[in-house]
Structure formats: C-alpha cells, structure tokens
Structure 1
Amino acid sequence: MKITGINLDIVWKDRTQNFLNIENYLAQEKADLFLLPEMFSTGFCMDASDVADRNEESLEFLKKMAKQKNAAFCGSAPVEKNGKYYNRMYFVKPDGEVAFYDKRHLFSFSGENNVYTAGKERVIVEYLGFRILLQVCYDLRFPVFSRNNDDYDVILYVANWPEKRVGAWEHLLKARAIENLSFVFGLNRIGTDGNNLLYKESSHCFLADGSDISQKEGNIISAELNRIDLFNFRDYFQFLNDKDDFKIQF
C-alpha cells in the first residue's frame, strides 16, 4: 500500500483555498491512500463557531477526492454536531464508505478541551488488507491509548505540532512504531498559523524497527508499506506476546 501525504501550509480559516491547494498538490500524484494534516481545512483553530463544518463540507471534499483519485483519503476537520464541536478524523474509501474518529486527547494547553468534545471510541479501519488505527496529534503523547493488542498494523497520526516541540513529535512517532511493532505514518503541517506558531517539515513514516522509510519531494511525502515484511518481523520478534494484560476504561 502506498501512502502519500501533503506537508500543507494550511491557510488560516479559509476552507475554499485549502481545498484548492490540496487539489493542486495532488493533481499528478498516485497512491492508495492520501493523508492530510489535522484540521486541514482551517488550521488548528479554537474559534470553532467560525470554522466548524455544519454541512459536512470537509467530508464532501474528501468524498469527491476519493472518487476522483480512486484512493482513500484521510484527515481531520472541525465539525459541529448536535450543538457540540469535534476534531473529527475522517477515513473515506474510494467507494464512498466513511469511518471517523473523534480526537480523544484534547490539547488543554491551548484550551482545545474547553471548545471541542473528546471522542470516546478507539477506531480501527480495514483497508487493502491493513488494519489502521486513527489518531490525532496530542494522542501521540498517550501510549496506553494506542497500545497494540494485535488488532492493527498501521497507525496514522495527523497533526499541527509546532516547531518548538517538534523533537518530541519525532521521537514519539518512532517510539510508537517500535513498541507496537507497527508502521507509523505521522503527517504534520508546515508554515505559520493564525496564532503565529511556526511549523517545520517533520513528517515521517517509520517501520516497526524504528527506521524511516519515507520519501520526500517538495511538499509531498510518500511511503510504501509491505504487509509481508511486517508480519515476518512480528513472527521473528514476538514482543507483543509479552505485553501486560489490562483494559482501558473511558
């Protein structure tokens, strides 16, 4: 499976321009799965009443792109549902089937927990023979939540993770791959947001041994994931068999 992501300089609060930029970046790209950053349509914005999708605008865009490119599309957007706001990560398959995950760990340092509602479910999607765990940005700091119970093969992280803390982002991505014997694809944004926070290029795809297999050209990052190689690695290093037995309670 080939995954391609955009290191996107998200235009602040401008859904239309971001959609156009994404289309332009991907015009000549081919992949099985395209990944977009956290809140790809607006930037990581706490003005939810101004930016949140009320008519599934971001989802409809993803559906259009999935059909057009005959590939899956994944990314998060601010969404309003029944008077509540969610940082919602969509996974849209080429046939239009939709799964979504609402960000569980809200970034209290920025006040996200005062604006958005935390998700209550851990979501795994099956696609092209891979079991894929959906995660958003701050979730990365909580390894228990992403613990592999031998129920997934890939973790997708989409983020707006500022340059000042980017070392933690990169180290934790690699750690999640190693400890969970999984592929980990972490996509961050670039540029400067409406709060004058700077984001540097720091997207990666790690193998279960911690090696980086991503290929980068311009604003595009891609990686080829091989299930057989992963399963052979797991068969040889059966570390997941020695895990502690416990359950997460919400």
Structure 2
Amino acid sequence: MKNELRIALVQSPIIWEQPTSNRKYFSSKIASIKGKVDLIVLPEMFTTGFTMTPENLDVKEGDVTVEWMQDIAKEKNAAIVGSIIYSENGAYFNRLFFVNPNGEVRHYNKRHTFTLAGENEKYQAGNKHLILDYMGFKINLMICYDLRFPVWSRNTVDYDVLLYVANWPKPRIEAWDTLLKARAIENMSYCIGVNRVGKDEKGLEYVGHSAVYDALGKQLVFSEEEEILEVTLSKAHLVETRKKLRFLEDRDQFNLE
C-alpha cells in the first residue's frame, strides 16, 4: 500500500466552446508542474465551459480529448481526471474521465444534472458510481451538482477520497465551501473540490475556492486565483483518524434501490 498521494489541482479559466484552445492551454499549465505528482485534477467541462449547446461541437471532440489525456498521463507518469462533453449513441453526457499513466480509461456520467441551467434537457444523467483504487487510495469520483446530494456520496464502502470537479459560480460559492467540508466530515474521508475561475459567455463569474479537506474537516489547501495547487494526502493519517474516531461504524444501515 502506498502511504502518500501527491495531487495537483489545476484551477483555471476556460475558453468557451473551444476544445483545441483549452487543450493547448492545459498542456502548458500541466507542463509547468515541476515536481512529481501522482494525480492531476482538471475542472468540470474543461474543454468547453459549462455550455448547454453541445451540438455546437464536433462529436469527435470527446475522443480527441481522451487521447490527449492519455498522452498527458504517459508524459507526466501521473493519472489525470476531469469532465468533458461526450457524445455516444446520439446522446450527450457530462462525463468524467479518469486516465491512468498506462493509458487505462475509466469514466463516470454525472448523476445529478443541473436543472436550474437546463442540463437535464441536454445531457443524459448517469446512474452508477465510479469508485476506483489508485496507488493504495480508494477514490470516489463526482461532478459539481452531485455535491448537494449527500446520500449519493455516502461512504458505505470505506473509500478514502471523495473528489468533485466543478464549474461552481460565485453567487453560490459559500454553499460550495460548506458542502465540501461537510462531505469530508460526514464521510470521514479526504474531500477534494476543483473549480474554475474567470467569466463564461453567459456572464457568470467563477472565483475558484478549489480546496482539500481532511477527514475532520481541516482545510489543507485553498485558492481564489488562477494557479496549480499541490497537496499530499496521507493514508496513514486517515487510517489513524478512523481508528481513533470510529464514526463510520455508527452510520445508519440502509441501501438505495
């Protein structure tokens, strides 16, 4: 079991509906990471911004971006994760991809589509979790609006890390801060949230607040600026915390059907 997981959180602006330009931008940002990291995290819809006009994009763009992620993962010898618009069988998905350094690809379709913006009318919702093992850490992967629904992230399988990628706007940023911390505490896990900065074509402003919390809700990193945040998670610290404070053993016993 690896005892540490080194993570880079890329908090960035996103160019509206310009996948090629965004891939070029993120290539440059990731190249600036000088030290060794194990996992690189990008925001939600990092090649387009949170657009409700997926039909404006070439349907091949999803596969192009996945291939780009594979190239980055191999080059940096690190896994990379983020969500993009993906077209499959005539439907659009807000799909998170987790790409290993060896090129293996896993994905998660956003469970809770954001009805306030009409995401439910444009993108098909998922219905399956993606909880995977990576370098000795069990990671539960989520997207943005999923953060508001604690039952969906409930820790019934003793995962170690809960990770959210997002486009979460400034008017509701206090909810983002509060819920990230709450998800960490209630699930006795690390909780990571990676948000964007800047303004989109709809005039919405994003102020980042990407952060990492430990199992007791202590904030390990935080930023409101365009930058790459680096943090190291300790499996030994998490195990020791859970051993000392056995809160998960007292969780309510129920299952979702």
| TM-score > 0.5, shorter chain as reference | yes
Query: TM-score when scaled to structure 1?
Result: 0.97
Instruction: In structure 1, give the amino acid aligned to 2:43.
Output: P
> What is the aligned counterpart of 2:43 among 37, 55, 62?
37
> What is the aligned counterpart of 1:75 among 73, 82, 86?
82
Count of residue pairs the alignment pairs up = 249
Verify: 1:25 aligned to 2:29, yes or no: yes
Per the alignment, residue 150 of structure 1 pairs with: 157
Distance 1:60 1:88 in 2: 15
State how 1:3-152 maps to structure 2 within 5 Å. 3-29=7-33, 30-51=36-57, 53-54=59-60, 56-152=63-159
Is the alpha carbon distance of 1:181 and 1:92 closer, same or farther for their aligned partners in structure 2, counting shifts above 3 Å?
same
- Contact kept? 1:162, 1:200, Cα under 8 Å: yes
Give the SS at the match of 2:133: strand
Per the alignment, residue 180 of structure 1 pairs with: 187
- After superposition, what is the alpha-carbon deviation per residue over 1:13-70, rounded to whole angstroms, capped at 9, x for unaligned? 1111111111111113131000000000000111011136435122111111001111
Instruction: In structure 1, give the amino acid aligned to 2:50.
Output: F
Give the SS at the match of 1:235: helix
Give the SS at the match of 1:213: strand
Instruction: In structure 2, give the amino acid aligned to 1:39.
Output: M
- Contact kept? 1:52, 1:80, Cα under 8 Å: no
Q: How much has 1:248 moved relative to structure 2?
A: 1.4
Query: TM-score when scaled to structure 2?
Result: 0.94
Distance 1:244 1:190 in 2: 38
Distance 2:154 2:71 in 1: 33
Distance 1:52 1:3 in 2: 31
Is the alpha carbon distance of 1:53 and 1:91 closer, same or farther for their aligned partners in structure 2, counting shifts above 3 Å?
farther
Q: How much has 1:135 moved relative to structure 2?
A: 0.2
- After superposition, what is the alpha-carbon deviation per residue over 1:109-153, rounded to whole angstroms, capped at 9, x for unaligned? 000000000001011011000000010000000000000013310
Per the alignment, residue 236 of structure 1 pairs with: 244
Per the alignment, residue 234 of structure 2 pairs with: 226
Distance 1:46 1:162 in 2: 15
Distance 2:198 2:239 in 1: 37
> What is the aligned counterpart of 2:172 among 150, 165, 169?
165
Q: Identity over the aligned pairs, expressed in percent?
A: 44
Distance 1:111 1:63 in 2: 31
- After superposition, what is the alpha-carbon deviation per residue over 1:153-187, rounded to whole angstroms, capped at 9, x for unaligned? 00110000000000000100000000000001100
Distance 1:151 1:174 in 2: 18
Per mean C-alpha deviation after superposition, the further-off stretch among 132-141 and 208-217 is: 208-217
Structure 1 segments, 4+ long, off by >4 Å, are 215-218
